[in-house]
Chains A and B, each alone.
Chain A
Amino acid sequence: MKNNIIILGGGQAGIYAAREIRQNDSKSNIKILGEENLLPYERPPLSKDFLLDKKKEEDLCFHSSDVLKNENIEFENISITKVDFENKKLFTKNDDVYIYDSLLISTGSENKKLTLDNNLKNDIYYLRNLEEAKKIKELVSNKNKITIIGGGFIGLEIASSLSQLQKKVIVIEIDNQLMGRIIPKQIADLVQNTHIEHGNEIILNKQIEKITKKNGDYEILLNDNSLIETDFIIAGIGSTPTVKLFENTNLKLDNGIVTNQFCETSIKDVYAAGDVSNFYHPLYERNMRLESYQHAQNHGICAGKNIAGVKTEYTSIPWMWSDQFNLNLQLTGICNDYDEIIERGNDINNGVIYFFLKNKIIRGACGLGIAGKIGRDIRITSKLSEKNTIVDKQILSDQNQKLNKLIQK
């Protein structure tokens, strides 16, 4: 049967879902509605190689318009401003109407904004999309002292890129460590040391009291009364799922759109995937929301299968990376449900990994190393945790022993 399938949100989850639907369903109309004037593209380079000019705009798109045309997938550059789930309709601000039989919501997430009491809203920059990346790249070119508010992944990646562009960078973090509590303090400290070695200043445990504009530059007053002078401010203080559109509907929301392991929401024929979805993970027996490249891709594919009628459970082991300077950090599984921590290695040149175990089974791991040094072990870790393998801790902690010994064939 021919269906009208609409994908609301033209990002990574959306495009992977669309192509997967087409793989399984040659007849239905598939339309992606995206408010950005660009085919779905990769965001990771925005804070890294795009700022460094190693990647250009044309390098970012997942697929060319030819691929979409060949697969008969339509992309329309439009913003949806109202939904009517009961009558299966989406509206634009001009009251153009889109009618669907099945809907995938893949609206992603958006940056939290600083609450400032004066008129500085347009003076603080955020990074989520290509337009913002272009703007930052253009504006920092004649700035020297740049302050990043928030020491999370994106803030630190920008700090690393700007430092490589010979800028003086200051990072202000409210917590007592970088990248949030989910990252082992030891790894956060190693990352912090690398930033400092490259000349970046890292200020922990401090809150912003006030920002004042002075002759085109800024003064940032911290809660210990210290003052930072800076000529450009970027904030990376976390993100929230993009769900405003659904707030007054009966779609179940709780830290994103609540979905089951089949990407189904509380409303029939409405699915959600990617950053916006708070999905049930059968292996961990709980809901979680992830903001990562691999998840957006795999979750999109899973949603695509389910929309096309191929009932498929989402069981991917969470995985993400962050690249800063020559370091590559990776996280797999979940690192906040454990009864034991095991350390492997203590030198970033060979890689350092912390494994989080519960009942002798690896639940998650976090590793840091010079580019490439921890990836294989982290990948093997994902496989071990996926299979609930009971592991030999001696092998885990000894860098001279290969971890693939632990995989039961």
Chain B
Amino acid sequence: MSEENWIEVGSTDSIEEEDLIRFDHQDKTFCVYKLTDGFYATDGICTHEAVHLEDGLVMDDEIECPMHQGIFNIKSGEALSPPACEDLKTYPVKVDNNKIFIKID
């Protein structure tokens, strides 16, 4: 597990609580969320069709896709409501000096 895998996303105050920001790195898109108990990260594109989840609605621990209301658990990535049926990939997040980092494999 090398240090290089941790990528800086931005400062902790760049995300409002119960909200998310989109983060692009190389050719991939991620969503980074601020929930009541901390920061989380998932893939940024819905597993149903190629739509950015950044425009979705965060409700408690869930992100709802803006296209067809597929729902995923942000912490586990589990697809909770159709038409989404494939889980969303999640990524470890750490906060250091008010900066958010995600670990991309």
Residues of A at the B interface (CB closer than 8 Å) are 42, 44, 49, 62, 293-294, 297, 319, 321, 323, 328, 371-376, 379-380, 404
Contact = CB atoms under 8 A, between A and B. Distances in A.
Interface in B45-97: 49, 51-52, 55-57, 64-69, 82-83
Contacts of A328: 66-67
A44 B66 CA distance: 16
Nearest to B54: A372
B64 A373 contact: no
B80 to A, nearest CB: 13
Given A294-B69, A319-B69, A328-B67, A375 B83 contact: no
B52 A44 contact: no
A371 B69 contact: no
B57 A321 contact: no
B83 A44 contact: yes
A236 to B, nearest CB: 21
Determine the main DSSP class of B at the interface with A.
Answer: loop
Given A321-B67, A380-B57, A404-B57, 6 more contacts: A293-B83, A321-B68, A328-B66, A372-B55, A372-B66, A375-B64
B14 to A, nearest CB: 16
Determine the main DSSP class of A at the interface with B.
Answer: mixed
Contacts of B66: 328, 372-376, 379
Given A44-B83, A62-B82, A293-B83, A376 B56 contact: yes
What's the interface size class on B, roughly?
10 to 19
A375 B82 contact: no
A372 B67 contact: yes
Contacts of B82: 42, 62, 297
A300 to B, nearest CB: 12
A379 B67 contact: no
Contacts of A293: 68, 83
B38 to A, nearest CB: 21
Contacts of B56: 372, 375-376
B83 A379 contact: no
Contacts of A294: 69
Q: Which of A49, A294, A321, A375 has the most CB of B within 10 A?
A: A375
A379 B51 contact: no
Question: Closest 3 interchain pairs by CB?
Answer: A375-B66, A372-B55, A372-B51
B83 A376 contact: no
Contacts of B68: 44, 293, 321
Contacts of A42: 82-83
Interface in B5-25: none
A376 B54 CA distance: 10
A379 B70 CA distance: 12
B43 to A, nearest CB: 15
B62 to A, nearest CB: 12
